[in-house]
Amino acid sequence: PPKEVATLWRLFDLSSGYRLDSTVPFPYFRRWLWPSVQRLRAPSHPRDALAPVVWVGSNCAAWTDRLAYIEELMRHVPVHSYGRCLNNRPWPKDAAGADVSLHTLLLPYKFYLAFENSNCLDYCTEKLYHAYILGLVPVVMGCKGLRDFFQPAMLSAIHVDEYPDARRLGQHLLRLHHNAAEYEAYHMWRTDAALVSSVFLRLWNGTAPSYECRLCAAVRQFQDQYHKHPLMGSVVNPDFSCEYSSDLYAERCAQYPQHPSCVL
Protein backbone atom coordinates (compact mmCIF):
# COMPACT_ATOMS: atom_id res chain seq x y z
CA PRO A 1 0.00 0.00 0.00
CA PRO A 2 1.17 3.59 -0.55
CA LYS A 3 3.01 5.13 2.37
CA GLU A 4 1.75 8.64 1.65
CA VAL A 5 -1.96 7.94 1.80
CA ALA A 6 -3.09 11.48 2.60
CA THR A 7 -0.93 12.91 -0.16
CA LEU A 8 -2.14 10.28 -2.59
CA TRP A 9 -5.83 10.97 -1.93
CA ARG A 10 -5.29 14.68 -2.46
CA LEU A 11 -4.27 13.94 -6.04
CA PHE A 12 -7.91 13.26 -6.90
CA ASP A 13 -10.20 16.08 -7.92
CA LEU A 14 -13.57 14.34 -7.59
CA SER A 15 -15.02 11.59 -5.45
CA SER A 16 -17.86 9.15 -6.02
CA GLY A 17 -19.25 6.57 -3.65
CA TYR A 18 -22.08 5.69 -1.29
CA ARG A 19 -21.39 8.67 0.98
CA LEU A 20 -23.64 11.63 0.34
CA ASP A 21 -20.76 14.09 0.70
CA SER A 22 -19.10 12.61 -2.39
CA THR A 23 -18.87 14.88 -5.42
CA VAL A 24 -21.13 12.45 -7.25
CA PRO A 25 -23.01 10.30 -4.71
CA PHE A 26 -23.66 6.73 -5.79
CA PRO A 27 -26.09 5.38 -3.16
CA TYR A 28 -27.51 1.89 -3.24
CA PHE A 29 -30.99 3.07 -4.13
CA ARG A 30 -31.10 4.22 -7.71
CA ARG A 31 -33.32 4.27 -10.78
CA TRP A 32 -34.17 0.56 -10.60
CA LEU A 33 -36.12 1.32 -7.42
CA TRP A 34 -37.98 4.27 -8.93
CA PRO A 35 -41.24 2.41 -9.77
CA SER A 36 -41.73 1.47 -6.12
CA VAL A 37 -41.67 5.13 -5.14
CA GLN A 38 -44.11 6.08 -7.87
CA ARG A 39 -46.58 3.40 -6.79
CA LEU A 40 -46.45 3.99 -3.04
CA ARG A 41 -49.00 1.26 -2.66
CA ALA A 42 -49.73 -0.94 0.31
CA PRO A 43 -48.47 -4.53 0.19
CA SER A 44 -51.12 -6.86 -1.19
CA HIS A 45 -49.38 -10.17 -0.56
CA PRO A 46 -50.57 -12.03 2.56
CA ARG A 47 -47.91 -12.18 5.26
CA ASP A 48 -48.53 -15.75 6.33
CA ALA A 49 -45.05 -17.17 6.93
CA LEU A 50 -44.46 -19.50 9.86
CA ALA A 51 -42.17 -16.86 11.37
CA PRO A 52 -42.66 -13.09 11.29
CA VAL A 53 -38.97 -12.26 10.78
CA VAL A 54 -36.58 -13.23 7.98
CA TRP A 55 -32.84 -12.77 7.50
CA VAL A 56 -30.54 -13.62 4.61
CA GLY A 57 -26.88 -13.22 5.52
CA SER A 58 -23.84 -14.47 3.63
CA ASN A 59 -21.02 -12.54 5.32
CA CYS A 60 -20.42 -14.32 8.61
CA ALA A 61 -17.36 -12.22 9.47
CA ALA A 62 -18.97 -8.78 9.49
CA TRP A 63 -17.35 -5.83 11.24
CA THR A 64 -20.36 -5.56 13.54
CA ASP A 65 -21.74 -7.87 16.23
CA ARG A 66 -24.82 -8.65 14.16
CA LEU A 67 -24.45 -12.45 14.40
CA ALA A 68 -24.42 -12.41 18.20
CA TYR A 69 -27.36 -10.00 18.22
CA ILE A 70 -29.43 -12.09 15.81
CA GLU A 71 -28.62 -15.26 17.72
CA GLU A 72 -29.97 -13.63 20.88
CA LEU A 73 -32.98 -12.22 19.00
CA MET A 74 -33.88 -15.73 17.84
CA ARG A 75 -34.47 -16.66 21.48
CA HIS A 76 -37.27 -14.10 21.75
CA VAL A 77 -38.97 -14.08 18.32
CA PRO A 78 -39.07 -16.65 15.50
CA VAL A 79 -36.52 -15.77 12.80
CA HIS A 80 -36.04 -17.69 9.56
CA SER A 81 -32.44 -17.50 8.38
CA TYR A 82 -31.78 -18.59 4.79
CA GLY A 83 -28.18 -17.50 4.30
CA ARG A 84 -24.91 -19.13 5.28
CA CYS A 85 -24.90 -17.46 8.68
CA LEU A 86 -27.06 -18.96 11.46
CA ASN A 87 -28.93 -20.90 8.80
CA ASN A 88 -32.05 -22.68 10.02
CA ARG A 89 -34.05 -22.96 6.79
CA PRO A 90 -33.24 -24.44 3.36
CA TRP A 91 -33.64 -22.16 0.38
CA PRO A 92 -37.00 -23.12 -1.19
CA LYS A 93 -37.32 -24.46 -4.73
CA ASP A 94 -39.82 -23.65 -7.44
CA ALA A 95 -41.87 -26.20 -9.40
CA ALA A 96 -38.93 -26.83 -11.73
CA GLY A 97 -36.57 -27.53 -8.84
CA ALA A 98 -34.62 -24.26 -9.12
CA ASP A 99 -34.01 -21.84 -6.26
CA VAL A 100 -36.76 -19.27 -5.92
CA SER A 101 -35.78 -15.62 -6.26
CA LEU A 102 -34.96 -13.52 -3.23
CA HIS A 103 -38.12 -11.50 -3.82
CA THR A 104 -40.29 -14.63 -3.81
CA LEU A 105 -38.54 -15.82 -0.67
CA LEU A 106 -39.18 -12.61 1.27
CA LEU A 107 -42.80 -11.97 0.31
CA PRO A 108 -44.52 -14.03 3.06
CA TYR A 109 -42.70 -12.26 5.92
CA LYS A 110 -43.50 -9.12 7.88
CA PHE A 111 -40.03 -8.01 9.02
CA TYR A 112 -36.66 -8.14 7.30
CA LEU A 113 -33.42 -7.86 9.27
CA ALA A 114 -31.52 -5.18 7.34
CA PHE A 115 -28.34 -5.57 9.39
CA GLU A 116 -25.35 -4.01 7.62
CA ASN A 117 -21.95 -5.71 7.77
CA SER A 118 -20.32 -2.37 8.58
CA ASN A 119 -21.66 0.58 10.49
CA CYS A 120 -20.56 3.50 8.37
CA LEU A 121 -22.01 6.91 7.60
CA ASP A 122 -24.50 6.71 4.71
CA TYR A 123 -23.78 2.99 4.18
CA CYS A 124 -27.34 1.80 3.57
CA THR A 125 -27.38 -1.10 1.15
CA GLU A 126 -29.93 -3.04 -0.87
CA LYS A 127 -31.01 -4.87 2.31
CA LEU A 128 -33.03 -1.82 3.33
CA TYR A 129 -34.64 -1.30 -0.06
CA HIS A 130 -35.55 -4.95 -0.61
CA ALA A 131 -37.79 -4.52 2.42
CA TYR A 132 -39.37 -1.31 1.16
CA ILE A 133 -40.00 -2.65 -2.33
CA LEU A 134 -41.55 -5.93 -1.17
CA GLY A 135 -43.72 -4.48 1.57
CA LEU A 136 -41.76 -5.68 4.62
CA VAL A 137 -40.79 -3.50 7.55
CA PRO A 138 -36.99 -3.25 7.77
CA VAL A 139 -35.36 -3.83 11.15
CA VAL A 140 -32.14 -1.86 10.82
CA MET A 141 -28.70 -2.19 12.39
CA GLY A 142 -26.09 0.22 11.09
CA CYS A 143 -26.98 2.50 8.18
CA LYS A 144 -25.91 5.68 9.96
CA GLY A 145 -27.85 8.54 8.43
CA LEU A 146 -31.00 6.48 7.89
CA ARG A 147 -33.28 8.72 9.92
CA ASP A 148 -32.08 11.89 8.20
CA PHE A 149 -31.94 10.83 4.56
CA PHE A 150 -32.76 7.23 3.67
CA GLN A 151 -36.01 6.61 5.53
CA PRO A 152 -39.19 7.50 3.59
CA ALA A 153 -41.21 8.34 6.72
CA MET A 154 -40.75 8.56 10.47
CA LEU A 155 -42.69 5.33 10.99
CA SER A 156 -41.27 3.15 8.22
CA ALA A 157 -38.38 1.28 9.87
CA ILE A 158 -37.47 -0.21 13.24
CA HIS A 159 -34.08 0.79 14.63
CA VAL A 160 -32.16 -1.69 16.75
CA ASP A 161 -30.44 1.10 18.67
CA GLU A 162 -33.79 2.25 20.09
CA TYR A 163 -34.06 -0.92 22.21
CA PRO A 164 -31.85 -1.74 25.19
CA ASP A 165 -31.34 -5.35 24.12
CA ALA A 166 -32.49 -8.06 21.71
CA ARG A 167 -35.13 -9.27 24.15
CA ARG A 168 -36.94 -5.92 24.13
CA LEU A 169 -36.74 -5.74 20.35
CA GLY A 170 -38.13 -9.26 20.07
CA GLN A 171 -41.04 -8.36 22.32
CA HIS A 172 -41.83 -5.33 20.17
CA LEU A 173 -41.75 -7.39 16.96
CA LEU A 174 -44.07 -9.99 18.46
CA ARG A 175 -46.51 -7.31 19.58
CA LEU A 176 -46.61 -5.85 16.07
CA HIS A 177 -46.96 -9.34 14.61
CA HIS A 178 -50.10 -9.96 16.66
CA ASN A 179 -51.55 -6.45 16.34
CA ALA A 180 -52.56 -5.71 12.76
CA ALA A 181 -53.34 -2.03 13.36
CA GLU A 182 -49.95 -1.31 14.93
CA TYR A 183 -48.15 -3.22 12.20
CA GLU A 184 -50.00 -1.48 9.36
CA ALA A 185 -49.02 1.89 10.82
CA TYR A 186 -45.51 1.20 9.47
CA HIS A 187 -46.98 1.05 5.96
CA MET A 188 -49.18 4.16 6.03
CA TRP A 189 -46.54 6.16 4.11
CA ARG A 190 -47.16 3.90 1.10
CA THR A 191 -50.69 5.24 0.58
CA ASP A 192 -50.40 8.73 2.06
CA ALA A 193 -47.85 10.81 0.15
CA ALA A 194 -48.07 13.55 2.78
CA LEU A 195 -46.20 11.26 5.19
CA VAL A 196 -43.22 10.81 2.87
CA SER A 197 -40.16 12.84 3.85
CA SER A 198 -39.33 15.67 1.45
CA VAL A 199 -35.62 15.09 2.13
CA PHE A 200 -35.99 11.45 1.12
CA LEU A 201 -37.80 12.41 -2.09
CA ARG A 202 -35.21 15.04 -3.01
CA LEU A 203 -32.43 12.52 -2.50
CA TRP A 204 -34.21 9.89 -4.55
CA ASN A 205 -35.12 12.38 -7.27
CA GLY A 206 -31.45 13.24 -7.54
CA THR A 207 -30.66 9.69 -8.59
CA ALA A 208 -33.20 9.67 -11.44
CA PRO A 209 -30.62 10.79 -14.03
CA SER A 210 -28.20 7.96 -14.72
CA TYR A 211 -25.03 7.78 -12.66
CA GLU A 212 -22.94 8.08 -15.81
CA CYS A 213 -24.69 11.33 -16.78
CA ARG A 214 -24.24 12.81 -13.32
CA LEU A 215 -20.57 11.83 -13.27
CA CYS A 216 -19.92 13.33 -16.71
CA ALA A 217 -21.70 16.54 -15.68
CA ALA A 218 -19.50 16.83 -12.58
CA VAL A 219 -16.34 16.31 -14.61
CA ARG A 220 -17.45 18.89 -17.17
CA GLN A 221 -18.27 21.40 -14.46
CA PHE A 222 -14.84 20.89 -12.94
CA GLN A 223 -13.14 21.34 -16.30
CA ASP A 224 -15.13 24.49 -17.01
CA GLN A 225 -14.18 25.91 -13.62
CA TYR A 226 -10.46 25.14 -13.79
CA HIS A 227 -10.24 25.21 -17.61
CA LYS A 228 -7.97 22.22 -17.72
CA HIS A 229 -5.94 20.03 -15.46
CA PRO A 230 -3.22 17.50 -16.18
CA LEU A 231 -3.94 13.81 -16.18
CA MET A 232 -2.84 12.06 -13.03
CA GLY A 233 -1.34 9.04 -14.71
CA SER A 234 -2.70 5.59 -14.22
CA VAL A 235 -4.10 5.08 -10.73
CA VAL A 236 -3.73 1.35 -11.19
CA ASN A 237 -0.18 1.84 -12.51
CA PRO A 238 0.09 -1.57 -14.19
CA ASP A 239 3.72 -1.17 -15.24
CA PHE A 240 4.87 0.37 -11.94
CA SER A 241 6.40 3.28 -13.83
CA CYS A 242 4.13 6.16 -12.85
CA GLU A 243 5.57 8.85 -10.63
CA TYR A 244 2.47 10.45 -9.24
CA SER A 245 3.12 10.55 -5.51
CA SER A 246 4.61 13.59 -3.78
CA ASP A 247 6.52 14.67 -6.91
CA LEU A 248 3.38 15.04 -9.03
CA TYR A 249 1.52 16.68 -6.16
CA ALA A 250 4.23 19.34 -5.75
CA GLU A 251 4.42 19.93 -9.50
CA ARG A 252 0.66 20.20 -9.81
CA CYS A 253 0.23 22.62 -6.93
CA ALA A 254 3.03 24.82 -8.27
CA GLN A 255 1.01 25.13 -11.47
CA TYR A 256 -2.43 25.48 -9.80
CA PRO A 257 -1.83 26.92 -6.30
CA GLN A 258 -5.51 27.84 -5.79
CA HIS A 259 -6.81 24.37 -6.57
CA PRO A 260 -8.83 23.00 -3.58
CA SER A 261 -6.50 20.03 -3.11
CA CYS A 262 -3.52 22.42 -2.76
CA VAL A 263 -5.05 24.79 -0.21
CA LEU A 264 -4.32 23.66 3.35
198-202, Cβ contacts within 8 angstroms, sequence gap of 24 or more: 199/148, 199/149, 200/149, 200/150, 200/151, 200/152, 200/153, 201/37
On average, the pLDDT of the chain sits at 77
**Residue 245 carries which side chain, given as an amino acid letter?**
S
Confidence at 7, pLDDT banded by 50, 70, 90: low
Question: How many angstroms separate the CA atoms of 79 and 87, rounded?
Answer: 10
* Per-residue confidence (pLDDT) for residue 59, from 0 to 100: 86
The string of pLDDT tens digits covering residues 44-54 is 556 666 789 99
Task: Name the residue ranges covered by the structural domains of the chain.
Answer: 5-18+210-262, 29-205
At residue 53, what are phi and psi to the nearest 5 degrees? -115, 140
The string of pLDDT tens digits covering residues 221-243 is 887 776 554 444 433 333 333 33
Query: What's the topology of domain 29-205?
Result: Rossmann fold (3.40.50)
* Per-residue confidence (pLDDT) for residue 174, from 0 to 100: 96
* Per-residue confidence (pLDDT) for residue 23, from 0 to 100: 81
Cβ pair 100, 93 in contact under 8 A: yes
Q: What is the mean pLDDT of residues 69-78?
A: 96
Is pLDDT at 170 greater than 50 in this prediction? yes
* Per-residue confidence (pLDDT) for residue 19, from 0 to 100: 80
Nearest to 199 by CA among 121, 134, 145: 145
* Per-residue confidence (pLDDT) for residue 33, from 0 to 100: 59
